Structure 1
């Protein structure tokens, strides 16, 4: 991890996430009738809500198409959801342009080759512990947790702390 990860995190306004291997453990489970199942971490979900309440924009950018992802995004109120994306860099660039943001104000969390181009441009590249080695080497921040096991929450708390917003995010849940 680069020593300047905290400085980079202090500039972030939008955080985009891959799904498989980041918000999930990367496993794909199919039912007998061909339906798809994914397991998401509830603590990651609360972290995403904390980020939204702190004023961050969130996005999902994934190479696969899944109704399960649509349902999870709707459950969390994530507005920017891009599925079936072959060029994540172009997708994030267009989102940044629409929102009037620069690359240094964007964080992206990914775990595999398809994520490298966007991670190479964003202000804060984040990889979960289970990411491919080449992705870890590109990351400014490497989480101790793996995808689907709290990595998203860990990254979120890092960004909130870097912007001195962590205590305020936790405050509603702490007893006086």
Structure 2
């Protein structure tokens, strides 16, 4: 019998997130210089920082390559940030090999077709409520929150609560 998503959460040591449509709502604001600006949810940021501080591996794999995104994520303590990634499976394989992580220990949250193949090989595939139908179809957990609107906080908080780590080591600061 297949494990429920709550049972799978017990094995998670690593969170991997896409950016656009997961950490953002998928909207891009373009200024007069052609620079593409995104918004991120402060509560997602708090949860990401809490996961890092609690000893989880936190990794970002995105096809986009906005340096402002990198700065924001580094400020949250995330060191493993792969932007401009054409092949997410290849990047995922390298990341878990370097860090000696088993695929079943990984929760990956994606929202669209570029995430599909990597989501098929992780322990817990998850997505925001507003993800593409194909992604929802392979996700073991679908957040009740949309991308950029708390989906990342939702899934991190759930894993940490299942493992008894939510609200245990936090410094109370969020950026």
TM-score after normalising by structure 2: 0.93
* Equivalent position of 1:101 in the other structure: 101
Measured after TM superposition, the shift of residue 3 of structure 1 is 6.0
* Equivalent position of 1:136 in the other structure: 136
Listed as ranges, the gaps of 5+ residues in structure 1 are none
- Equivalents in 2 of 1:51, 1:64: separation in Å? 23
Q: How is 1:67-78 mapped onto 2 (pairs within 5 angstroms)?
A: 67-78=67-78
Measured after TM superposition, the shift of residue 9 of structure 1 is 1.1
Measured after TM superposition, the shift of residue 96 of structure 1 is 0.5
* Equivalent position of 1:110 in the other structure: 110
- Equivalents in 1 of 2:3, 2:39: separation in Å? 33
* Equivalent position of 2:43 in the other structure: 43
1:155 equivalenced with 2:148 (yes/no): no
- Equivalents in 1 of 2:26, 2:141: separation in Å? 20
Question: Can you list the C-alpha shifts for 1:96-118, whole angstroms capped at 9, x where unaligned?
Answer: 01011110011110000010111
TM-score after normalising by structure 1: 0.93
Measured after TM superposition, the shift of residue 167 of structure 1 is 3.9
Listed as ranges, the gaps of 5+ residues in structure 2 are none
Tell me which protein shows more helix as a share of its residues: 1
* Equivalent position of 1:119 in the other structure: 119
Count of aligned pairs between the two proteins: 171
* Equivalent position of 2:52 in the other structure: 52
- Equivalents in 2 of 1:116, 1:40: separation in Å? 23
- Equivalents in 2 of 1:7, 1:105: separation in Å? 12
In the alignment, is the contact (CA less than 8 A) between 1:136 and 1:142 conserved in 2?
yes
Moved over 4 A (4+): none
Measured after TM superposition, the shift of residue 157 of structure 1 is 0.6
Question: Can you list the C-alpha shifts for 1:104-154, whole angstroms capped at 9, x where unaligned?
Answer: 011110000010111110001110011001101111111001011011000
- Equivalents in 2 of 1:67, 1:110: separation in Å? 20
- Equivalents in 1 of 2:106, 2:169: separation in Å? 20
* Equivalent position of 2:30 in the other structure: 30
3-state DSSP of counterpart to 1:166: coil
In the alignment, is the contact (CA less than 8 A) between 1:36 and 1:68 conserved in 2?
no
